[in-house]
Amino acid sequence: MDIITYFPQSKLLQPFIDRYYFLKTTDAAFSSRYYVFPSMITPLNIHKNVDVHMGDHHIAVKGSAAHNYPLILQGMRKKPLAVELAGELDKITILFKPLGLNHFIKKPFSDVSTKSSQLFTEWEDEEGFEEFITSFYATDDNNNRIDILENFLLGIFAPVKNFAAFSKAVQQLADFNEEKPITDITAGLGWSGRTFDRHFKSLIGITPAGFRKIARFRHSMNNKVLNERFTSLTALGYESNFYDQAYFINVYKEITGLNPGTFFKKITTHPEAGLFFQYY
């Protein structure tokens, strides 16, 4: 499966979007099935001419004769998502950073993302959306497509109130070199724990404690797979501040369905897109 990655060109968009990746197939017999795992990043997929079927922790997308442009949002998940892709496909995935999508929607993120995957319709009423989607798929040049997409995003950009404070909280929750208790992070922002939890979940889609667990999982996975820093799973867990080996194993089983040793043997990495798949 060929994935082509690009990074945001607009400096205004760079704080909110991690990267884009394109996936295009021209073979009607194409088929790929894999699991993707919980992440701090929010993927928004834009497809052309597909049939979509979604269930709990499962999504299937197949090229079809339908003339449509479905947008599919994957929310803040706590379990693996089984993905099935088939047929002729032409899609771009926007990987939004934590809090990022909030700057391009009018509703709170938690209202827009209520499931592991859902159709995303928040842009359909935006002025210029039809022109954007038509122009985007009228060209096959990926650089032109990114220009068209970014012009649309800049046109609907609306800064989130208290973004700097919440961004600082996200950074602290994912900092395992100087890990602070959540109560200290909350106090540093001048909010009560209840107020912080409510607003955080509204903007991120998960509690601060749930977010930190996913961040800890991703931190350890990046150290093992991308940075190739550790061969010992004990040292790997220690580096990401898992309390003990039992907790390290339990978190991996909860998030991936597998113990760490089995998980690292089974995954396939697409480092250019920051993706980890387990094909099945």
Mark the ranges of the chain whose per-residue pLDDT is less than 70.
1, 226-231
Do strands 275-279 and 268-270 pair parallel, antiparallel, or not at all (unpaired)? Answer: antiparallel
Instruction: List phi, psi (to 5°) of 78.
Output: -105, -10
Q: Considering the domain boundaries, does residue 118 fall inside one? A: yes
Say whether both 201 and 134 belong to one domain. Answer: no
What's the pLDDT at 231?
64
Q: Considering the domain boundaries, does residue 86 fall inside one? A: yes
What's the pLDDT at 110?
95
Say whether both 145 and 171 belong to one domain. Answer: no
Say whether both 151 and 252 belong to one domain. Answer: no
Say whether both 123 and 227 belong to one domain. Answer: no
Say whether both 176 and 74 belong to one domain. Answer: no
| H or E stretch covering 33 | strand 31-36
Q: Considering the domain boundaries, does residue 267 fall inside one? A: no
Residue that is last in its domain, among 105, 130, 156: 156
CATH number of the domain that 169 lies in?
1.10.10.60
What's the pLDDT at 2?
78
Q: Considering the domain boundaries, does residue 180 fall inside one? A: yes
Q: Considering the domain boundaries, does residue 276 fall inside one? A: no
Q: How many domains does the chain have?
A: 2
Do strands 89-96 and 117-119 pair parallel, antiparallel, or not at all (unpaired)? Answer: unpaired
Say whether both 177 and 253 belong to one domain. Answer: yes
Say whether both 118 and 173 belong to one domain. Answer: no
List pLDDT tens digits, range 109-127.
Answer: 999 999 989 999 999 999 9
Say whether both 15 and 112 belong to one domain. Answer: yes
DSSP character at residue 223? I
List pLDDT tens digits, range 161-172.
Answer: 888 989 999 999
What's the pLDDT at 177?
87
Say whether both 144 and 183 belong to one domain. Answer: no
pTM: 0.94
Q: Which amino acid is at 194?
A: R
CB atoms within 10 A of CB 237: 23
Q: Considering the domain boundaries, does residue 280 fall inside one? A: no
DSSP character at residue 159? P
What's the pLDDT at 167?
93
Domain that residue 248 falls in = 163-261
| H or E stretch covering 197 | helix 193-204
Q: Which amino acid is at 108?
A: P
Say whether both 152 and 174 belong to one domain. Answer: no
What's the pLDDT at 252?
94
Determine contact, residues 85/280, Cβ cutoff 8 Å.
Answer: no
Say whether both 148 and 236 belong to one domain. Answer: no
Q: Considering the domain boundaries, does residue 185 fall inside one? A: yes
For the chain, the residue count is: 280
What's the pLDDT at 234?
83
What's the pLDDT at 133?
97
Q: Considering the domain boundaries, does residue 268 fall inside one? A: no
Say whether both 12 and 115 belong to one domain. Answer: yes
